[in-house]
Amino acid sequence: MKFSQAMESPELKQPELYINRELSLLAFNRRVLEQAKDENTPLLERLRFLCISSSNLDEFFEIRVAGLIQKAAMASVQAGPDNMSPTEALGQISVQAHELVDEQYRVLNDVLLPALEQEGIRFVKRQDWDKVQAAWVKDYYEHELLPILSPIGLDPAHPFPRILNKSLNFIVSLKGKDAFGRTSGMAIVQAPRALPRLIRLPEECRSSVNDFVFLSSIIHAHVDDLFPGMKVQGCYQFRVTRNSDLFVDEEEVDDLLRAVEGELPSRRYGEEVRLEVADNCPPEVSQFLLDQFELTGNDLYTVNGPVNLNRLMSLPDKVDRSDLTFPAFTPGLSSRLSMANNIFQTIRKGDLLLHHPFESFVPVIDFLKQAAADPKVLAIKQTLYRTGPDSAVVDALVQAARAGKEVTVVVELRARFDEEANIALANRLQEAGAHVVYGVVGYKTHAKMILVVRREEEKLRHYVHLGTGNYHSRTARLYTDYGLLTCDPQLGEDVHKLFLQLTSLGRSSKLGKILQSPFTLHTGMLERIERETENARKGKPARIIAKMNAVVEQNIIRALYIASQAGVEIDLIIRGICCLRPGVPGVSENIRVRSIIGRFLEHTRVFYFLNDGKEEIFGSSADWMERNLYNRVETCFPVEDKKVRERMIRELKYYLEDNMQAWELQSDGNYVRTTPGEREPLSAQLKLLEEMGKGD
């Protein structure tokens, strides 16, 4: 049977061979939460992992659940390869998300808070305030809180207010009449967004330097003062999560920047998708809130603690306890770069691979700064997806534009939750004289590339940076990503053609080495999987290793199933979503899937093919998802320098041998954490930190 025919085989379309995308994403958040329980992880970092799992869940509801709700409301029966309808998926999500939230608060209350208290880090509860503390809280309330609070009594003249997405609010039940004789019985108090949620007690009224009170506790303690002459019968925290996906009809707009800018305010007041309330809130009050937001009981999450766990993320920065955080590290710098005065000369001697955060992001900044200052550089072109408002990358581009270089920047305005920052940097670049475009209508520009055009000995040479992650200095210390610096003529020509494609009109040019979405990346991956499959059928060794964030696209999954059936050995290192089911007899016995969850967020995308001994390895900006392969502009670039290729293969093996931070996906869809057992303990991230610190 031909490969293309096998792809259409009914047996490979059986729903039980595919894991639901949304449920797989929830499983990832459970793995993140497990880090909060790991006693080998420093205590304040465990608190961070708890907050990350909560923040991830927020985005899950804002985007994924919101989208399913819209589909269910339109009576959509469209199902993915797992054959689960939107309504069925929402039902299972509700069950699993409720279990996850319950576990988050159990970990907070039973594990982390007692451990923090043992370390002298306390959240002092209202019932435990002594007279001095209570007096200080009252003073703080009167001078910092009261002047900016606006309680809203609910009556025909004061309808239920619009509640900001994910904001902290209180619903207050009242008895009695106010000064005008009104007896509404209910009021809403919205916590000021300008004030911190965690407040350190001053020296004169604390037993430890790290005694804190919650802003919510202060409001609770003095809520009676907001309703003089009335009796407060109850005060309960709540928070609503809204649909936060922006809708911009790109076929109908003339100016994408203005359209995105105009849509940003609507994100704060999208359709409601989840309600969180304190667990002491009476059922009738919870039902009142559900009615106001037009939600059902399945959308209600009662929590034993702060309704926004994310606010605890600020604690590690407020507490000077380096013994409770990961050890500080300085990203490494290879000897080739540390000794270099001219980065262009260094690149000409051979390709440079940067592995962040183990290696410094500074060479990327230096590449741009030197290009901006070098009189031989004529032009700089760059894509920006996520960069940050105070960016050295943007500073260098502004400097280059002011120096008279031809600077072209493709800014992706629709980088989710970074739209506002990207609009600001686009305006700044334009003011400096750079050419700013917003990519291609209908396709997000997700490719990560820089092109520097330099005149050398009467000819132009292209210098290129291609990456798997964003040009963001902060995330470069938190996310693992590869960056390749090269002056390979064909790669330079390919990147040049890609920028022409993004900034002008016309048909796409054929590229020599780079695979590109939405044109050749998908087919290029399928062809290479098929090649390994044919080699296995001929009795040759065949091997695929792929590391990325997500595997969802069903044609890729089917191709991997066929490859496994032919005998190809396949290892997938997938941080988050994996819809492929490994270890199914007769289908995926030769496929192993693992997820690495550690100090850094694994973000590198690397694809390795044995190719009958002529090994191929690629870095990419794309995951194997429909959106990356069909609806975005992405790059997948070959790594051909022998030393660089060997290094990437060696580092992939670290991830395959990791037995400290790895989770292995089972055929039933569950993940099991690996343990060293009798083997030498190995953490890929710790190993890379040790190696990069030594240079080369």
Residues labelled catalytic: 446
- Strands 616-620, 606-609: pairing kind: antiparallel
* Helix (H) / strand (E) containing 474: none
- DSSP character at residue 415: S
Residue of 504, 503, 489 whose CA lies nearest to 453: 489
Q: Give the count of beta carbons closer than 10 Å to the beta carbon of residue 304.
A: 15
Contact criterion met (CB below 8 Å) for 654 and 690: no
The H or E element spanning position 651 is: helix 642-657
Q: Which of 545, 560, 522, 559 is nearest to 616 (CA)?
A: 545
Q: Taking a C-beta distance cutoff of 8 angstroms, is the pair 260, 249 a contact? A: no
Q: Which residues of 46-78 are buried (b: 16+ CB within 10 A; e: fewer)?
A: bbbbbbbbbbbbbbbbbbbbbebbebbeeeeee
**Token pair for residue 211?**
């005694």
Q: Which of 238, 240, 242 is nearest to 270 (CA)?
A: 242
Burial of residue 673, with CB atoms counted within 10 A of its CB: 0-12 exposed, 13-18 middle, 19 or more buried: middle
Contact 528, 616 (CB under 8 A): yes
Nearest-5° angle of CA 102, CA 277, CA 120? 65
Write the DSSP string, 516-584.
Answer: EETTTHHHHHHHHHHHHHHHHHTT---EEEEEES-B--HHHHHHHHHHHHHT-EEEEEESS-B-B-TT-
Report the DSSP beta bridge partners of residue 465.
450, 485
| Among 606, 694, 613, 610, CA closest to 651 | 606
Closest residue by Cα to residue 609 from 547, 529, 553: 529
Residues 561/562/567/570 CA torsion (nearest 10 deg): -40
- β-bridge mates for residue 178, sequence order: none
